Amino acid sequence: MSNEKVCSETPLLGDKFPDVEVVTTHGKASLPKDYAGKWFVLFSHPGDFTPVCTTEFVAFAKRADKFKAMNCELIGLSIDQVQSHLKWTEWIADNLKVEVPFPIIADGVGSLATKLGMIHPGKGTNTVRSVFVVDDKGVIRLMIHYPQEVGRSVDEVLRAVKALQFHEKNHVALPENWPNNEIIGDEVIIPPAADEKTAKKRKEQGGCYDWWFCHKKM
């Protein structure tokens, strides 16, 4: 029964991000309320002062302006105290010459991490490398979970936000690694035909490999 309860409470794609009050390196915040009208990426890391997490934070920090240009904010999280976060970002600035411009949630008792399914029962209390992309209406649009042992690709997170926003604006599907797909480049996918007449017409027109695989330039 307890496992069923945990699963049912873990948000799914398309769900509203849960209303929570958090403590961060930039002060207290209310999610998603304080980010109304903006997209945000919430990403967790296993712990401060760890090598893989440090490489990820440097990558996120260096790309923060690119996210901001898409009306998207970054928020970090781990089950560490805020003082640990502050000392770690200070170390990054002093030793790697990179300023971390975004807040980091101090989820000391793991309540938010547990609510979002960021803690693997076989990995102790450390969070896995989760990514949640939340849109400007507070809806969860993407979730990615990496194991503790493998660093994530920040460029992929950036690409995914760009693709989600493009879909939102144009209501089209995007191919693998868009806008750099190996087959159709930066073109987009046209929804498959829904009836025989349209399917037959699709076969005769350009920009289609078949009735179910058509693409176009935007």
Residue 156 lies in a domain: no
Which of the listed residues 117, 151, 185 is the one where a domain comes to its end? Answer: 151
3-state helix, strand, coil in the chain (%, to 5): 35, 25, 40
Domain span at residue 128 reads: 2-151
Q: Is there a catalytic annotation at residue 72?
A: no
What digits encode the pLDDT tens for the residues 48-96? 999 999 999 999 999 999 999 999 999 999 999 999 999 999 999 999 9
Do 112 and 204 have their domain in common?
no
Do 66 and 138 have their domain in common?
yes
Question: 27, 60 in Cβ contact below 8 A?
Answer: no
Do 131 and 183 have their domain in common?
no
pTM: 0.91
The CATH number of whichever domain residue 140 belongs to comes to 3.40.30.10
Residue 157 lies in a domain: no
Among residues 53, 72, 208, 214, the one annotated as catalytic is: 53
Question: 70, 161 in Cβ contact below 8 A?
Answer: yes
What digits encode the pLDDT tens for the residues 60-71? 999 999 999 999
Domains in the chain: how many in total? Answer: 2
Do 104 and 136 have their domain in common?
yes
